[in-house]
Structure 1
Amino acid sequence: MLLRRPAVLIAATLLALAGMGGVLVAQMESGERGILPIDSSGTLEITGIKVDVGGKDADSARYSGWRIAQREGFKALWAKMNKRPAGEAPNLSDSTLDNLVSSIVVENEQIGPNRYIATLGLLFDRQRAGELLGLAGEVRRSAPMLLIPVLISGGTATSVELRNPWQRAWAQFRTSQSAIDYVRVSGLGVDPLLVNAAQTRRPGRGWWRNILDLYGAANILVAEVRLDRLYPGGPSKALFVGRFGPDGRTLGSFELTARNSDDLPRMMNEGVQRMDDLFTQALAAGIVRGDPDLIIQPPPPPKEEEEAPVAAEIAPTVIQVLVIERGEAAAVAQSVAQIRGLAGVIWVTQAPLPNGNANLSVNYRGDINALGSALYSRGWSVTNRGGVLYVTRGAAPGVSPTQ
């Protein structure tokens, strides 16, 4: 997708960079910012596989533990993908699993002379394992959602301004297994100026529209965690809250605890998993979706100017009209005045007749039949005799002007 950078957004960014001066440069060079999200498009991950196995020596025990982890990991991932018990998963040979597993992640391990105890994670090649895991075909995913992780600790809210365990957990999250199409920011470059904790409280859609256009997203997801420590390095409790959209609509919340600082990464990783489940449920309910009002639409192509059709002008015709009012001069004058007011009449000349009636020459934009129909529709009795219209007002119903 081609990302457009609106001029107003770039100008604001440059001004902010100039105002912060050397402080920003110093912080970025010190490595306090920036955690690049992992590319998980080609792998499927399962974590928390526990093994406890013995062997004739340490290497044999470790090799056996990894073999067991591959078998149990495939079944656990199959159960997760298909929402069914792990006992129903197919039993694959070790040689087949060797081709499916791309790497093993050691979360925790204890190696003895003839015993291996560990908690492992496994990465399966998506292309090779997808069909065996029931992932054949296209998977329905959401519109691109800009993810903003917010950590509140010690009364201070931060997002990607400084490295923190909550941002790191999201950067390490393998999004290929989620129905949400996350757009994750790294915290490098202008990210801390545009996507920060303060920005999540900004309701103005104009600024949001520019930011979403810059990152190629259709809406916003805010993953917020409020971390409370009993004492430095000791137990901690965290409240996780999921929000959606510029208005910060709350989707749900949950609490987790960590025994100490060493257990904090585990709690954050679990929080990411549960937060993703929260967002996925909101997607299934139709809450999480793209907002057309937040997407900058390209201008419509210019319309070709169409010339309005010019109606063909009807040439005027001079038509002779005899007004017969039985010698009543006032009635004749009134009838002549009404004929002058008809639509299409340009001018009327009058020649008196001996009996008090009127002989009119009517310059009319139309033919004799059109003028006769106009008079007939207004209650006149009209007769066409040899190209001369004989008209009488207030007489018995007249005949068709064409007769």
Structure 2
Amino acid sequence: MMTITLPLSRSLSRSRMMGAGLGAIALAAVAGTALFAQVSGDRGIAPVASSTDIVANNITVDVHGKTAEEARQTGWREAQRKAWEKLGGPDLPDSRIESMVAAVVIDHEQLGPRRYIATLDIIFDRSRAGSMLGGGGKQSHSAPMLTLPVLIDGGAATMFETRNPWQRVWANFQAGGSAIDYVRPAGAGGESLLLTYGQTGRRSRLWWNTILSEFGAADVIIPIARLQHEWPGGPITGTFTARYGPDNRLLGEFTLRAENDSELEPMLERAVHRFDDLFASGLAEGKLKPDPTLESERIEISPEIRRLIEVSRQAEAAEQQERTEQAEAENPADLESSTAPQQTEQQAVSNFAVQFTTPNAAAVDAALAAVRSAPGVRGAATSSIAIGGTSVMRVSYAGDLSALAATLRARGWNVTEGSNALSISR
């Protein structure tokens, strides 16, 4: 049998390499687990399907009957009658009111042998009841508004990071009859990383445009609930603030109170309806409309400004023509030699992909502004954004890829050329 003995230095080196390899594998496993944990877990509440029916919320009943079933039927009839009165409907028999009910939603109920206590939501069919309740006509609606409910409780501000009662009441809100077109994210998966309380403090229009386009919204509204507990299990004071737009502007504020934890959810449900009234009032006053700085193509130029621009262009063209005629009269040969290169210098505009590092949202705006200002660049827009990683922009340039690379190098960028693409960094 042959025994091979390795030198001590090589043995230690191999042991260190094996240890480093095992450490790298363990680190990758931990990193993968951490990344998975950030998007997994008990988060995300899908919003209920909204209908355009007419809803009367929080109808309470306390009735008796010979049996539990009879007490329940009596309670439902009484709730339908109370809901009809709450909505301002005319006097009608119970059978007629019942024929217009589309659904009964049970918020809370207690059944006894001969007693029924419940809080119900009564939904009336708009096609049958709308004309008698004044809701048959068309109602103006807002543009799609991304709704970001913020809960501040115990000093921590959360949105979709974990399930919370404020997110739940917004998900359960029947918004079909509202003047506001709410876009309500579920908050599951990657949405919990993208939509956080920190997002409400950002002002970058490029960043907001990316988020709004992801959810098909035109602007953002932010209902904030700040809860203050007097003592554990005791009264809770809720301060509710309505904000809107990428600049986080204040729309209104109000305060509600719950006597204990069991009354917290009913208080939050009342707050949602108060918010809906606030946002509807803001829409009627002309405040709640899409910010024109979010999408430049949405900006409408008034006819007066358009005429001034046209007159200015005509005057500039006439002045240029006058200078050309004067130069031609002074020296026709020089004019011919100067205009010939201009005709040959016209080049086709091509589109190229440009990768650039984006540690934060400000880096996205800075890179776009720098590339757009480069000579020969006709336009630049992001096609993929990865904050903390590498983003991609599409650049329209009058020239070839090598010329674009040279132009960017002249402006201080480190440029690497690829196949119909560039990678730039500072």
TM-score of the superposition, structure 1-length normalised? 0.63
Query: What amino acid is the match of 2:205?
Result: R
Tell me the CA shift for residue 50 of structure 1. Answer: 2.2
Equivalent in the alignment of 2:59: 49
Q: Distance in 1 between matches of 2:101 and 2:281?
A: 29
Equivalent in the alignment of 2:424: none
1:101, 1:122 within 8 Å by CA — same for their partners in 2?
Answer: yes
Equivalent in the alignment of 1:230: 230
What whole-Å deviation, never above 9, does each CA across 1:104-124 have from its counterpart, x for those lacking one? 222333434333333222122
Equivalent in the alignment of 2:33: 22
What whole-Å deviation, never above 9, does each CA across 1:341-385 have from its counterpart, x for those lacking one? xx79x9xxxxxxxxxxxxxxxxxxxxxxxxxxxxxxxxxxxxxxx
2:52, 2:177 within 8 Å by CA — same for their partners in 1?
Answer: no
Tell me the CA shift for residue 297 of structure 1. Answer: 4.0
Q: Residue 250 and residue 20 in structure 1: after superposition, are their counterparts in 2 closer, same or farther (change >3 A)? A: farther
| Residue 151, structure 1, aligned to residue 138, structure 2 | no
SS at match of 1:293: coil
Tell me the CA shift for residue 48 of structure 1. Answer: 1.8
Tell me the CA shift for residue 38 of structure 1. Answer: 0.6
2:76 to 44, 60, 66: 66
User: How large is the Cα RMSD of the aligned pairs?
Assistant: 2.7
Q: Residue 20 and residue 206 in structure 1: after superposition, are their counterparts in 2 closer, same or farther (change >3 A)? A: farther
Equivalent in the alignment of 1:257: 257
What whole-Å deviation, never above 9, does each CA across 1:243-286 have from its counterpart, x for those lacking one? 11111111111111112221111111111111111111111111
Please list every run of 5 or more consecutive structure 2 residues that lacks an aligned counterpart in the other structure: 1-28, 299-328, 333-426
Number of residues paired by the alignment? Answer: 275
SS at match of 2:102: strand
Equivalent in the alignment of 1:220: 220
Tell me the CA shift for residue 174 of structure 1. Answer: 0.9
What whole-Å deviation, never above 9, does each CA across 1:184-226 have from its counterpart, x for those lacking one? 1110132122221110011111101111111111111111111
Equivalent in the alignment of 1:246: 246
Please list every run of 5 or more consecutive structure 1 residues that lacks an aligned counterpart in the other structure: 1-17, 80-88, 299-342, 347-403
Query: What amino acid is the match of 1:216?
Result: G
SS at match of 1:257: strand
Query: What amino acid is the match of 2:33?
Result: G
2:39, 2:192 within 8 Å by CA — same for their partners in 1?
Answer: no
1:105, 1:121 within 8 Å by CA — same for their partners in 2?
Answer: yes
What whole-Å deviation, never above 9, does each CA across 1:47-82 have from its counterpart, x for those lacking one? 1212233322222222111111112212213x3xxx
- Please list, as runs of the form range in 1=range in 2, the aligned pairs for 1:188-227 lying within 5 A after superposition: 188-227=188-227
Moved more, 122-131 or 172-181: 122-131
Q: Residue 96 and residue 202 in structure 1: after superposition, are their counterparts in 2 closer, same or farther (change >3 A)? A: same
TM-score of the superposition, structure 2-length normalised? 0.60
Q: Distance in 2 between matches of 1:75 and 1:177?
A: 18
SS at match of 2:131: coil
Q: Distance in 1 between matches of 2:111 and 2:209?
A: 53
Q: Distance in 2 between matches of 1:97 and 1:186?
A: 35
Q: Distance in 2 between matches of 1:106 and 1:61?
A: 15
Q: Residue 68 and residue 24 in structure 1: after superposition, are their counterparts in 2 closer, same or farther (change >3 A)? A: farther
Q: Distance in 2 between matches of 1:216 and 1:182?
A: 11
The structure number with the bigger radius of gyration is: 1
Q: Residue 114 and residue 21 in structure 1: after superposition, are their counterparts in 2 closer, same or farther (change >3 A)? A: same
- Please list, as runs of the form range in 1=range in 2, the aligned pairs for 1:250-399 lying within 5 A after superposition: 250-295=250-295, 297=297
Higher RCO (C-alpha 8 Å, min separation 6): 1
Query: What amino acid is the match of 1:163?
Result: R
Moved more, 133-142 or 229-238: 229-238
Equivalent in the alignment of 1:91: 91
Q: Residue 95 and residue 141 in structure 1: after superposition, are their counterparts in 2 closer, same or farther (change >3 A)? A: same
Q: Which structure: greater helix fraction?
A: 2
2:40, 2:189 within 8 Å by CA — same for their partners in 1?
Answer: no
Equivalent in the alignment of 1:123: 123
Q: Distance in 2 between matches of 1:167 and 1:205?
A: 26
- 4+ aligned runs moved over 6 Å, structure 1: none
Q: What is the percent sequence identity of the aligned residues?
A: 48
SS at match of 1:69: helix
Q: Residue 68 and residue 242 in structure 1: after superposition, are their counterparts in 2 closer, same or farther (change >3 A)? A: same
What whole-Å deviation, never above 9, does each CA across 1:23-47 have from its counterpart, x for those lacking one? 35346543x1110011112433211
1:100, 1:128 within 8 Å by CA — same for their partners in 2?
Answer: yes
2:127, 2:136 within 8 Å by CA — same for their partners in 1?
Answer: no
Query: What amino acid is the match of 1:180?
Result: I
